[in-house]
Structure 1
Amino acid sequence: MKCINPLLLAGVLATATGVHANSLNPVVEKSAAINDSALKTQGKIDSISDSMQSKLQQFKTLNKEIDGLMVYNSQLDKQIQNQLAEMADINASMDQVSVIERQITPLMLKMITGLEQFVALDVPFLLEERKQRVSKLREMMERADVTSSEKFRRVLEAYQVEVEYGRTIEAYPALINVAGQEREVDFLRIGRLELMYVTKDGKTAGIWEKETKQFKELPDTNISQINKALRIARKQLAPDMLTLPINAAK
């Protein structure tokens, strides 16, 4: 058996090791490059994944907004349809108002004429005041700055005043002709049933007669009761039983 020189063996091993190391270096470098490339690729993948998640979230948010807008638009569409229907109703009503306005003016004029005739035929209490009310209504009808609705309201108001006269009692002063002389008297109105007076000196009393359309003098025995009724009408006395002359219905 031959002996190998240790020095020679060491040299051979060193040479082999050097040769092997030199052949592995490119492999190691290539592997490192691959790892670097893999890391960069993973970074890009992570970045793309994050971007996709963000865009997905945006997509979901936009979908919710779109759903909300669709509901809102549907509600607006219903409101618009209702408003269009209301506009159509208003236009139709305006056309009807024009027709009604043409019809209501003659009606109001007839009502004023009727009121004027009623006052002339009625018991003559507050006669000047009531005549002036009718006169003002006629003047109002000629004014262009007063709407038809306001005119109609005032005509109805005048009728309402006349209706209230029939439900109340009233005392008021006035001047009338008594026995050929103009005298100041206190009138007592009991609804539309009776109209009586007492002179300021308390010596003469009278009552309106519907048949003769004039005042008739009353006996002195009625004066105290009429004065009491005047005080009740002025709220100076509590309501109480009274004995007053009454025109009997025929």
Structure 2
Amino acid sequence: MLMRCLIFIFVSLLLGQAQAGVKVDEQLRLQELNSASQQRIDQLEQQRQAAAEQSQALLQQAQLLEQYNQHLSAMTAQQNQQSTQLEQDLQELQYSQQLALPMVHQLLSQLQNFVASDLPFLSQERQQRLTRLASLLDRADVSLAEKYRQVLEAYQIEMEYGETIEAYSGALNQQQVNYFRLGRTALYYQSLNGQSSALWQADQQTWLALDDAANRELSQAIAIAWQEQQAPALLLLPLPAAKEASDE
């Protein structure tokens, strides 16, 4: 009887230990499952955060791209407007040039007529200037503004002739003489030996010989204007008759 009791107790202890071992194994498996689940949850959370950050970055890029597109559209519209305005300005400029270029040609033609009817001083120099201007106006590589400037410059030179006196050497009937210009009022010449001189008569298109007194005055005038040997003085030179009076 005692033996049976001992066997029963021993068997009970063995069963209890077996059941306790089973519970420990189950707890270990549960802990492993919980740990794996937590790791998976952590990985999913990291992936979610990464996806959220990427989504936010893409959204910001989309916003920046939209702003850039709007800015680009505004720039394109402004450039189109400027291009249209530039085309209009070019058309107006071309029209202005079509009007202005004939005016410059007319200015040169008037200057040519004026020089042709003026006193015949510095004829070669003045004619070369007019010829150069005529050639300049026909050049396509020179701007209208430059053409206009040079024509006005020629006008300025001609205007200055009327405010100055000048002496220079030049040819007359195949001989060298000294010329004296009194503004553009009178033109004289004197032989190199100083023995003879004359005054240009515009109405008759010829030279009028001067007497001895006028010839001496002319010598003094040439010395003042050309050689600068004497100080300016009052010149008692004869003047040509007014052309308007002769026409009447």
**Both structures adopt the same fold (TM-score exceeding 0.5):** yes
1:90 equivalent in structure 2: 86
Which of 146, 151, 170 is equivalent to 1:153? 146
Give the deviation of 1:249 after TM superposition.
Answer: 10
Which of 162, 167, 177 is equivalent to 2:160? 167
Which of 32, 36, 43 is equivalent to 2:39? 43
Are the equivalent residues in 1 in contact too, given 2:108–2:134 (CA < 8 A)? yes
Q: Say what the alpha-carbon RMSD is for the aligned residues.
A: 3.8
Amino acid at match of 2:158: Y
Distance 1:41 1:205, change over 3 A: farther
Q: Which blocks of at least 5 consecutive residues in structure 1 are unaligned?
A: none
Q: Deviations over 1:6-42 (max 9, x none)?
A: x987765543332112113332222222222222222
Are the equivalent residues in 2 in contact too, given 1:112–1:155 (CA < 8 A)? no
Which of 70, 90, 105 is equivalent to 1:74? 70
TM-score between the two structures when normalised by the length of structure 1: 0.70
Amino acid at match of 1:72: Y
| Higher mean C-alpha deviation, range 11-20 or range 32-41 | 11-20
Are the equivalent residues in 2 in contact too, given 1:202–1:223 (CA < 8 A)? yes
Q: Report the secondary structure of 1:134's partner residue.
A: helix
Matched, 1:19 2:11: no
TM-score between the two structures when normalised by the length of structure 2: 0.71
Aligned residue runs from structure 1 range 1-250, under 5 A:
13-138=9-134, 146=140, 150=143, 153-154=146-147, 156-167=149-160, 169=164, 172-177=168-173, 182-189=174-181, 192=184, 195-204=187-196, 208=200, 214-216=206-208, 217=210, 218-231=214-227, 241-244=232-235, 247=239
Q: Which blocks of at least 5 consecutive residues in structure 2 are unaligned?
A: 243-248
Give the deviation of 1:137 after TM superposition.
Answer: 4.5
| Higher mean C-alpha deviation, range 80-89 or range 124-133 | 124-133
Distance 1:164 1:112, change over 3 A: closer
Q: Report the secondary structure of 2:160's partner residue.
A: coil
Distance 1:18 1:240, change over 3 A: farther
Whole-angstrom distance in 2 between the partners of 1:77 and 1:106? 44
Q: Report the secondary structure of 2:177's partner residue.
A: strand
Q: Deviations over 1:106-150 (max 9, x none)?
A: 434433321221111223222233334434544566x5x626x63
